């Protein structure tokens, strides 16, 4: 497929996915799981809703990243590819590790009674041991807290770049065969789920199952490669578009079964044996459904798309820090929990967009630190004039 073709549907899916991550993290204060800052009372409904989001949320982010890698490889060789990834991913990651990550760790430590004192008193302790996100004593967030997605994406791209090159070159026939197999109307979700299910047999309940975003880190490369394969094949994309409602129906059924297995106490024993399988199968059927729906209904642009597509990285960088700072104060208010969530959600969104609009979007140095391309001089002048008008 031509590199000059702009995939608006992938842009929209990326925007929706990052907004979903924001929604997910805004609810993290109220679920039953460990997190940086928690509400005094946790909630079953919040936990159930987040269990559903974890099925598909990060897998689709990595799938879109895989498709993006396919198109990025059409722009030049390895030097061009990795220079672009260093500017767009590595720079924001390093900034995250040494700027706002210490604040997030500090809020976690004081909230959970693991540190007493000011933020500046905590800073020297930030470099004491690796932060693992499980309440352990280490503080150094070498993955940049919520930027762990970027940290592992960089690792995956380095590891699988030779495979991607082979698949686009001498392995083109193999790539076509894989794409044609997935394009079969009844196997698009099975082809993805079988290798993940097979891997799960070996890593389940072992140290290799460590992960974040609801999935072990070893599983995300499958979604990355899946996205790469899909982007390579017009026939496969047409099939996913045609089978969108079938895949959605299968995904909805499998997800319902999964949610019942983890929610109903009477099913606790069989859930131990089957819930993980339905969790994987659910994701592997919902993802082709979302892609097909996107290709059918989201292949357009408008002013909001153009603005949001540029803002998405800056929004992602800001979102968790802003949520934690605001949530740290709001969770202790004497108001209903739903009202707390609404205040956190609305005020955090407004704060993020204000910071983005008046700082990140308009200042080229900050844009560079956030992995964004600099404004053309003519645009920069117009933006500066609009800000002072």
Q: Report CA Rg, the chain.
A: 21
Question: In Å, what is the CA distance from 182 to each residue of 186, 223, 226?
Answer: 8, 13, 9
Question: In Å, what is the CA distance from 49 to each residue of 21, 23, 150, 283?
Answer: 13, 11, 25, 15
Question: In Å, what is the CA distance from 373 to each residue of 74, 87, 114, 310, 318?
Answer: 19, 9, 40, 9, 17
Distance between CA atoms of 104 and 372, rounded to whole angstroms? Answer: 23
Q: To 10 degrees, the CA torsion angle through 230, 236, 239, 240?
A: 0
In tens digits, what is the pLDDT along the chain, a chain of 389 residues? 444 478 999 999 999 999 999 999 999 999 999 999 999 999 999 999 999 999 999 999 999 999 999 999 988 889 999 999 999 999 999 999 999 999 999 999 999 999 999 999 999 999 999 998 877 779 999 999 999 999 999 999 999 999 999 888 766 677 787 787 777 766 777 788 889 999 998 888 787 788 899 999 999 999 999 999 999 889 889 999 999 999 999 999 999 999 988 887 665 555 566 788 899 999 999 999 999 999 999 999 999 999 999 999 999 999 999 999 999 999 999 999 999 999 999 999 999 999 999 999 999 999 999 999 999 876 554 555 545 55
Distance between CA atoms of 149 and 111, rounded to whole angstroms? Answer: 25
The 3-state secondary structure of 349-372 reads HHHHHHHHHHHHCCCHHHHHHCCC
CB 337 within 8 A of CB 30: yes
Distance between CA atoms of 52 and 255, rounded to whole angstroms? Answer: 8
Range 143-162 burial, b when 16+ CB lie within 10 A, else e: bbbbbbbbbbbbebbeebbe
- Indicate the pTM of the whole model: 0.92
CB 258 within 8 A of CB 310: no
Cα 228 to the center of its chain, rounded Å: 17
């Amino acid at each position: 497929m031509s590199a000059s073709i702009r995939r608006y549907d992938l842009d929209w899916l990326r925007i929706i996915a990052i907004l979903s991550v924001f929604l997910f993290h805004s609810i993290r204060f109220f679920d039953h799981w460990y997190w940086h800052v928690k509400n005094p009372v946790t909630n079953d409904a919040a936990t159930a809703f987040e269990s559903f989001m974890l099925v598909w949320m990060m897998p689709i982010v990595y799938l879109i990243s895989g498709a993006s890698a396919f198109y990025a490889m059409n722009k030049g060789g390895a030097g061009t590819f990795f220079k672009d990834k260093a500017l767009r991913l590595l720079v924001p990651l390093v900034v995250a590790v040494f700027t706002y990550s210490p604040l997030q760790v500090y809020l976690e430590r004081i909230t959970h009674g693991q540190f007493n004192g000011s933020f500046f008193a905590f800073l020297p302790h930030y470099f004491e041991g690796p932060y693992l996100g499980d309440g352990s004593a280490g503080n150094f967030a070498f993955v940049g807290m919520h930027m762990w997605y970027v940290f592992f994406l960089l690792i995956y791209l380095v590891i699988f770049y030779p495979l991607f090159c082979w698949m686009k070159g001498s392995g083109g026939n193999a790539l076509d065969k894989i794409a044609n197999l997935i394009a079969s109307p009844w196997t698009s979700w099975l082809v993805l789920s079988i290798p993940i299910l097979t891997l799960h047999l070996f890593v389940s309940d072992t140290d290799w199952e460590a992960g974040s975003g609801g999935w072990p880190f070893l599983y995300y490369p499958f979604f990355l490669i899946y996205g790469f394969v899909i982007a390579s094949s017009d026939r496969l994309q047409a099939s996913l578009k045609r089978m969108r409602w079938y895949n959605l129906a299968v995904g909805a059924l499998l997800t319902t079964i999964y949610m019942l297995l983890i929610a109903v106490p009477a099913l606790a024993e069989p859930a131990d044996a089957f819930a993980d399988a339905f969790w994987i199968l659910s994701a592997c059927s919902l993802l082709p459904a979302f892609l097909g729906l996107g290709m059918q209904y989201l292949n357009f642009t408008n002013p909001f798309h153009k603005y949001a597509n540029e803002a998405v990285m800056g929004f992602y960088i800001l979102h968790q820090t802003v949520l934690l700072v605001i949530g740290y104060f709001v969770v202790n208010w004497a108001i209903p929990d739903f009202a707390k969530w609404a205040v956190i959600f609305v005020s955090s969104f407004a704060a993020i967009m204000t910071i983005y609009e008046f700082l990140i979007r308009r200042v080229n140095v900050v844009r560079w630190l956030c992995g964004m391309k600099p404004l053309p001089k003519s645009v920069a002048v117009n933006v500066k004039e609009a800000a002072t008008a």
